[in-house]
Structure 1
Amino acid sequence: MEPKAHHLVIGVFTLIAVVAALSFALWLAKSSADREWAYYEIVFDHAVGGLAKGNPVLYSGVAVGDVLDMKLDQANPGHVRVLVRVEQSVPVRKNTRAGLVLANITGSMSVQFSGGTKDSPVLEGSRDNPALITAEPSAFNSLLTNGEVLLTKAEKLLTSANRVLSKENTENLTAILSNAREASDSLLGSRDQLVALLERMDNASKRAAEAASRVSAVSDNANALLQNEGKTVLISMNAAMTGIEQTANRIDQLTRNNEGALDSGLQGIGELAPALRELRNTLRNLNQFTRRLEEDPTGTIWGGPTIKEVSQ
């Protein structure tokens, strides 16, 4: 009898547990059915990997609903339409933003609402006519997209690096480094000469600076001379030219006024020319007679031959 009693107790306990579980499920289903929902269709223009039916819908991190359905947009397969339900007591407004957030480390995603101001109207939607909301690109999705681009670029970079670090380029780089080392050693060996050369260049630059300073001083003096004394000389030259011009004008006027007298004077000078020639000939003959008279007075006066003494 005792084993049968134990089996009876176990059976009764099992039956009670099943009935309690069914009752809790019915209560939960009734509670869910009695809750009022608002329905929204969110349009995503990017991939929604990790999102599935039944995933929670959050509003600023608080669970307010779940995902009911997901389908591709027939007009544009690149867009995804996600039907969600949210407790009607949660005000989803026109300027409320929708996006995806990472639910856990397994990659599961949740829909999250955020934002919304009191002055914006509340969106109302039913199961048959849900309100339409355009989703914003999520930070996680942007990170994944940028990560893919970054990985692609990193792969190209590694490929280029492998090409750059080929055997031939490595040998060339080794040769370049060796030449650079030899050049640096040569420069170190000529360090004293380089120091002396730099000192001479420094001295030359100082002398050039002194010469430039002197040239600047000379140019300043020349500029001052031109501005002071040069101006006086120019004024004097201007006055002299004015006087010369006035004198030339007077001579020209005098010439025009005495043109007849000048013509007569020039004509008289032309008549005096023969007389002057005769006078010049007479003076020449007189000069010759005087010279002969000095040399031979007797012969010149008497006209006889000159007796010359013969030396013994």
Structure 2
Amino acid sequence: MEPKAHHLIIGLFTLIAVASALLFALWLAKSSADREWAYYEIEFDHAVSGLVKGNPVLYSGVEVGSVLELNLDHSNPGHVRVLVRVEEDVPVRKNTRAGMVLANITGSMSVQFSGGSKDSPILKGTRDNPAKIAAEPSAFNSLLTNGEALLTKAETLLISANQLLSEENTANLTALLRNAREASDSLLGSRDQLTAMLERIDDAGKRAAEAASKVSAVSDSANALLQTEGKSVLTNMNTAMASFQDTAARIDQLTRENEGALDSGLQGMGELAPALRELRNTLRNLNQFTRRLEQDPSGTLWGGPTMKEVSQ
């Protein structure tokens, strides 16, 4: 009797567990059926690979519904209409954006809503009359669309690289590197000569600097001499010239005033005329020397050309 009692207890427990599971499934189905939904039709103008019925619908990453149907737009086969249902209390607005996101590494895609400002009206749709939402292309879809163009560019780049690394270019590059190595070896072999030449250039530079310093010192000394003694010499010369000019003017005035008397009284003194001419020549030479001294003091005082007499 005891074995039969154990089997009866086990059977009764199994029946209770199955009944509980059925009741839970019925409650869950009733809860899902009692939930209120809003329906939206999203129009995609590109391929929706990876999106199938039953895939989740997300709003800012939170699951709020699922995909119900996918239909090709027969009037425009490049467009796909996707019917989704979303929990009715989710605020899908007129300016809410829809797109696709990658759900997992297998390539499965999910529909995702994003955006929507508070001042935009809320969209509500039924199963028979779903609200229309235009989809925007996703970054992943753009990457897939542009993949062919990227591959073409990559192929062109590889072709260009192969042309650049052709046998002729490789040989030229090898010859160029060989010549560069030979030039560097030659420079290394002449290292001592280059060092000696650089030392000579350095010595020449030092000597040039010393010579420039000496020239600068001489120039400074000459400038100082002209500023001190030269000024006094010029002042004295100007004073002497003024005195000579005054004397010459007086002699000339005296000669003009007494020209008649001198002509009558000096007829026997023929040697006085040459003396007067020499005096005038001396005055002219003195004037000429003064002008040169004013124009070029250093050249006149320290080795300028000698002053020539002016013939009358």
TM-score normalised over the length of structure 2:
0.56
Give the SS at the match of 1:174: helix
Give the structure 2 partner of residue 120 of structure 1: 120
Relative distance call for 1:188 and 1:15 in structure 2 (3 A) is same
Give ranges in structure 2 of 5+ residues lacking alignment.
199-203, 205-312
For residues 36-76 of structure 1, what are the alpha-carbon distances to aligned partners after superposition, in whole Å with 9 as ceiling and x for unaligned?
11111111122222211111111111111100011222122
Give the structure 2 partner of residue 31 of structure 1: 31
Give the structure 2 partner of residue 165 of structure 1: 165
Give the structure 2 partner of residue 15 of structure 1: 15
TM-score normalised over the length of structure 1:
0.56
Give the SS at the match of 1:112: strand
Give the structure 2 partner of residue 68 of structure 1: 68
Give the structure 2 partner of residue 98 of structure 1: 98
CA RMSD of aligned residues (A): 3.4
Give the structure 2 partner of residue 88 of structure 1: 88
Aligned residues: 206
Q: What is the letter of the counterpart of residue 121 of structure 2?
A: P
For residues 174-219 of structure 1, what are the alpha-carbon distances to aligned partners after superposition, in whole Å with 9 as ceiling and x for unaligned?
1232233334555667889999999xxxx9xxxxxxxxxxxxxxxx
2:108 matches 1:108: yes
Q: What is the CA–CA distance in structure 1 between the aligned matches of 2:156 and 2:10, rounded to whole Å?
A: 69
Relative distance call for 1:80 and 1:183 in structure 2 (3 A) is farther
Relative distance call for 1:191 and 1:72 in structure 2 (3 A) is farther
Give the SS at the match of 2:52: coil
Relative distance call for 1:153 and 1:17 in structure 2 (3 A) is farther
Q: What is the letter of the counterpart of residue 115 of structure 1?
A: G
Relative distance call for 1:179 and 1:94 in structure 2 (3 A) is same
Q: What is the letter of the counterpart of residue 128 of structure 1?
A: D
Q: What is the letter of the counterpart of residue 113 of structure 1?
A: F
Q: What is the CA–CA distance in structure 2 between the aligned matches of 1:155 and 1:9, rounded to whole Å?
A: 74
Relative distance call for 1:179 and 1:23 in structure 2 (3 A) is same
Q: What is the letter of the counterpart of residue 160 of structure 1?
A: S
2:131 matches 1:131: yes
Relative distance call for 1:60 and 1:3 in structure 2 (3 A) is same
Q: What is the CA–CA distance in structure 2 between the aligned matches of 1:82 and 1:168, rounded to whole Å?
A: 58
The structure having more radius of gyration, on CA atoms, is 1
Q: What is the CA–CA distance in structure 1 between the aligned matches of 2:156 and 2:49, rounded to whole Å?
A: 26
Give the structure 1 partner of residue 40 of structure 2: 40
Identity, % of aligned positions: 82
Give ranges in structure 1 of 5+ residues lacking alignment.
204-312
